[in-house]
Structure 1
Amino acid sequence: MSAEQYLWWQRGVIYQIYPRSFMDGNDDGIGDLPGILSRLDYLEWLGVDAIWLSPIFPSPMADFGYDVSDYVGIDPVFGTMEDFDRLVREAHARGIRVLLDFVANHTSDQHPWFLESRSSRQSPKRDWYIWRDAAPGGGPPNNWLSAFGGSAWEWDAETGQYYFHAFLKEQPDLNWRNPDVQRAMLDAMRFWFDRGVDGFRLDAIWHLIKDGQFRDNPPNPDYKPTDSPYHRLLPVFTTDRPEIHPVLAMMRRLADEYDERVLIGEIYLPVERLVTYYGLSEPELHLPYNFQLLLLPWDARRIQATIDVYEALLPSGAWPNWVLGNHDRPRIASRVGRAQARVATMLLLTLRGTPTIYYGDEIGMVNVEIPPEAIQDPVERTAGRGFGRDPERTPMQWDSVPNAGFTLGQPWLPLSPDYPTCNVEAQRDDPRSILTLHRRLLALRRAEPALSIGSYRSLPAEGELIAYLREDGERRFLIVLNFGHWVRRYACGQIDLRGSVVLSTYLDREGEMVDRDLLLRPDEGVIIGLTG
């Protein structure tokens, strides 16, 4: 296939925006849609192909938008529907697609559906949520736990039953076994497709259906005291149920009614289960999010083996994808250090498949220590100290003025102390910055089909080196990455190493000729254009 025959989401790169933290357009300290609109030129300059917005729907903000009270509106904190429509138009004019975060598993407890559901046991919407009587001896119906701490069951004194919430008690789970729920949610998705949205990232999608017999989850034999309390049990009856797949197939059929729309699923599962979400008997998700680079130790041998296993397990015709960071996990520069973050960037942007960049990672933003009085994330209170996600959600660092150019108001979260030097303005014209590295890699990926849609072949490597080949037609690129902090030499007997350096993470070896073997400096990755 030629590059033109691949869809935009196969060729392109997605950029995740956490709207509260990207850019504040009205100086109330919270990012918004006008703020994002004002930075579209930056995103076009950077070279990304799509933006994914974490939820912007009306919400009481118990979980900062992941508790939706209206699926077909815009929360006033982010702007208006007119702001959204303008954002879509202006993004499309720049060749940038717009994806929304669709919270399918649960609503807010303030959603009109839930208010009606809890009003009476006889309510027409009672079965839109998961209600159960107390256990025979009293107490919750079973041992199911909330991912955010404690029991997943909340007692409702007015109607004398428990309702289920996989996350906060303010986020009751929808009953996706109910056809009326299915129709209502598909109608909401259709509303946004008709408005020009290019796809959805489906939140917590592996939670969507629960065991119909409400059986207890078994104990986790590998649980450690340092783990989240949620991991005391194996969630075999609350996640990854087989009945999820027909629901996702329905969503896919809806998406396929429109041109080049994409469905991406948030799924934290072992890779052999993850790949089933491409579809069992019929197509489901275009991209079940592959979080392995988020979760694995930064070890060359583990990661190369993981890449190879993932490639081998992909179903026929399935398109891979890779993620280094998101709003729920520590930033890559904090996990592996800023030197290795450059190597990680080259890995992300040269593997086969669709990459997602988390806002701020392109300038090397790090996790920020949040003082107790400034904590915002409810998980820090429900699951315990250290489990909160505020540190990776801090405001984007645009320049060196107060509040990093994010707002003239009081930022909703503290900024990193390093923002006077770690910011877009400081790095934009620096030929050696990590921002320049991102831009160079994105431009190279766009110019060279071998690096976007080409084949992948793992090559032998030892110790702290990873090596692989990307190829399309006569264009071949060798990528070698040094995960270590010492000089390493690479030689591969399987290919002719003759060629020249196209790009180094040090941004200083372009055009250097290579023959027989390759010397890598500490924390260096290189792309070699092969001529042999």
Structure 2
Amino acid sequence: MAPHSTAIYQLDVSLFRDGCGRGWGTLSGVVEKLDYLQWLGITHLWLLPTYRNGGRDGGYDVIDHCAIDPRIGDFDSFDLLIREATRRGIRVIVELVMQHTSDQHPWFLQARSGDARMAARYIWADSPPEQGPDPMFPPIEASVWSWDADAARFYQHRFYRHEPDLELANAEVREEMGRIIAFWLDKGVAGFRVDAVPYMVERAALADPRDEGRWLLELMRGQAAAHHDAPILIGEADVEAGEYGQYLDHGRRLSHLLDFHLNNHLFLAFALEDASQITSTLAEYNADAPARSRLAWLRNNDELDLEQLSPEERACVMARFAPEPGMRVYERGIRRRLAPMFDHDVDALAMAHAVLLSLGQVPVLRYGDEIGLGDDLRLPERDAVRVPMQWAPGPRAGFSDGPAPPWRAALSSHDRGLASDAVNVQAQRDDPDSLLGRVRELLQARRSLPWLEQDAEALPGLPRSILGLRFRSGDSALLTLVNVGRTPHRLHLAEATDARPVVLRGADVEEQTVVLAGYGYAWLLVDSGGS
């Protein structure tokens, strides 16, 4: 995936568009909106779990890895989505959830009933060890161990108690993983976002300690490569920047990593209005984790997890973006969408997208962020950020046209100005100054900027709030300039002489001077000889 010509769009099918009138988002509803995604500039569609599931964790509590959740469709509609997306030049990425299953999965039901072979696919203990990992969801889960009365043993769950962990040290589990990978690649997907990678390799190390279990990723790569020439394997691994190369191994393991380290520091930069938090972070990556292998995003399907910041830095981000206790979750994160975090300020939201798309990394957009979709803090935990897409004005926001009420209500008029009458695709699509218009402008522009494939150089001597990057190619360069703060700045840049603007928002260029308003940004092509 070339960074300059790639844009990944992450969506939850159940919340995107109801194509059948039953109140649930469906695969056929996604097909309806493929023209919109193509118009926006999307090249890859990342579907959150579409498996048959227990309905208790956004689809991650998998009951059958090779069956479609009947609420969103069937294999006919999935096959149609693959065909129609491919026809528009859009590739589809699905989830690979092999760190755990639902407690309603047939394997676990058989394990609880005394089937020793199936029991060996999970992690059990007669009593929980005194030392062990902390739970992921405090205080919702106080321990990673729960008692099962039928099995008369404790089972491990790094996530929720209804999601027992799989034993990746078990060869049968690894064989099942290969079967599942083959099934979906043969269905026409381009690859996978692999859930909870560090926990998977941790267990694999018990079977073979080589490379601390990361050999599992080489096995996964081989399983995928047997069914696809260039399978995409995107790892969810919230680890330090210095560890990225161990998960990638020059493409012999994962092809890409979600860049949690950068994501934490993006929001620290936004909170402090200090772009050096971004440039210093970009300087931390080793050559074994090049920009093209790192996926950058603003918000995702979960809480904004800030574990990679110091306690003082985390407190700063919380104070700026989650000042009320109800906006926080799990003692480490923020359960808000992007638009309310920035007080629905279109200039600030466009700035954040300009930063995302200026980095030379592969960008991921969360569905609805391009229009400023809000959140619903009345919903529990991470569900606050999981609200229906808003396509048009009205009480159902164009999410559903059928007689059945939507399974999750659209944001209503009291939701901080984010109801569908104010925020929807229809209202913004033909307005170039809307948030949607500005995001599309950036996405379309970067497709003609192969300079973004080169290494980013930080421009020296800029004011604290200015992110300035240079991407050289031959005798020319691309300059990306973004003001992450509210104070205007006048910049003297000798290399901006005869600059050719690609994108200007809240910006002006004259000779060697670039003026950036608060939250303004500029992409400029310049001659680089001798600069």
| Superposed pair shares fold, TM > 0.5 | yes
Counterparts of 1:119-518 in structure 2 under 5 Å? 119-120=113-114, 123-134=116-127, 142-148=131-137, 149-210=141-202, 243-257=212-226, 258-279=228-249, 283-296=252-265, 297=268, 298=270, 299-310=274-285, 312=286, 314-315=288-289, 319-329=293-303, 330-337=336-343, 338=345, 339-370=347-378, 375=379, 380=380, 388-408=381-401, 409-416=404-411, 417=413, 418=418, 419-451=420-452, 453-460=453-460, 461-492=462-493, 495-506=495-506, 513-518=509-514
**CA–CA distance in 1 between the matches of 2:275 and 2:113?**
55
Instruction: Flag structure 2 segments of 5+ consecutive residues without an equivalent.
Output: 304-335
Deviation per residue, 1:10-50 (Å, 9 max, x gap): 74111101112111112332211111111111011111101
Residue 436 of structure 1 deviates from its aligned partner by: 1.1
Aligned to 2:521: 525
The percentage of counterpart residues that share the same residue type is 34
Aligned length: 473
Deviation per residue, 1:248-299 (Å, 9 max, x gap): 111112223312220001111221223421128x711111110234323123
> Which stretch of the first structure deviates more once superposed, 246-255 or 78-87?
246-255
Residue aligned with 1:181, SS: helix
Q: Which one of 73, 92, 102 corresponds to residue 108 of structure 1?
A: 102
Deviation per residue, 1:137-192 (Å, 9 max, x gap): xxx66543331221111111222211101111110000000011000111111111
Decide whether the 8 Å contact of 1:342 with 1:505 is kept in 2. no
Aligned to 1:223: none
Decide whether the 8 Å contact of 2:4 with 2:360 is kept in 1. no
Residue aligned with 2:487, SS: coil
**CA–CA distance in 1 between the matches of 2:2 and 2:487?**
39
Residue type at the aligned position of 1:505: R
Residue 102 of structure 1 deviates from its aligned partner by: 1.2
**CA–CA distance in 2 between the matches of 1:355 and 1:244?**
29
Decide whether the 8 Å contact of 1:293 with 1:324 is kept in 2. no
Residue aligned with 2:64, SS: coil
Residue 347 of structure 1 deviates from its aligned partner by: 1.5
Residue type at the aligned position of 1:268: D
**CA–CA distance in 1 between the matches of 2:284 and 2:491?**
23
Residue 242 of structure 1 deviates from its aligned partner by: 5.1
Decide whether the 8 Å contact of 2:53 with 2:61 is kept in 1. yes
> Which stretch of the first structure deviates more once superposed, 166-175 or 484-493?
484-493
1:31 aligns with 2:20: no
Residue type at the aligned position of 1:468: L
**CA–CA distance in 1 between the matches of 2:17 and 2:204?**
44
Residue 213 of structure 1 deviates from its aligned partner by: 11
Q: Which one of 8, 11, 22 corresponds to residue 14 of structure 1?
A: 8
Change in Cα spacing, 1:348 to 1:318, as seen in structure 2 (3 Å) is closer
TM-score, normalisation: structure 1: 0.83
**CA–CA distance in 2 between the matches of 1:142 and 1:314?**
34
RMSD: 2.4
**CA–CA distance in 2 between the matches of 1:213 and 1:466?**
41
Residue type at the aligned position of 1:111: H
**CA–CA distance in 1 between the matches of 2:231 and 2:132?**
39
Residue 319 of structure 1 deviates from its aligned partner by: 2.5
> Which stretch of the first structure deviates more once superposed, 471-480 or 31-40?
471-480
Residue type at the aligned position of 1:302: Q
Residue aligned with 1:69, SS: strand
Residue 415 of structure 1 deviates from its aligned partner by: 2.6
Deviation per residue, 1:42-68 (Å, 9 max, x gap): 011111101000001001112121011
Decide whether the 8 Å contact of 1:277 with 1:284 is kept in 2. yes
Aligned to 1:221: none
Residue aligned with 2:214, SS: helix
Residue 353 of structure 1 deviates from its aligned partner by: 2.0
Decide whether the 8 Å contact of 1:266 with 1:289 is kept in 2. yes
Change in Cα spacing, 1:241 to 1:504, as seen in structure 2 (3 Å) is farther
Residue 439 of structure 1 deviates from its aligned partner by: 1.4
Aligned to 2:308: none
Instruction: Flag structure 1 segments of 5+ consecutive residues without an equivalent.
Output: 1-6, 215-239, 381-387
Deviation per residue, 1:318-349 (Å, 9 max, x gap): 63321111100332333344332211111111
**CA–CA distance in 2 between the matches of 1:57 and 1:472?**
44
Change in Cα spacing, 1:274 to 1:317, as seen in structure 2 (3 Å) is closer
TM-score, normalisation: structure 2: 0.84
Decide whether the 8 Å contact of 1:272 with 1:313 is kept in 2. no
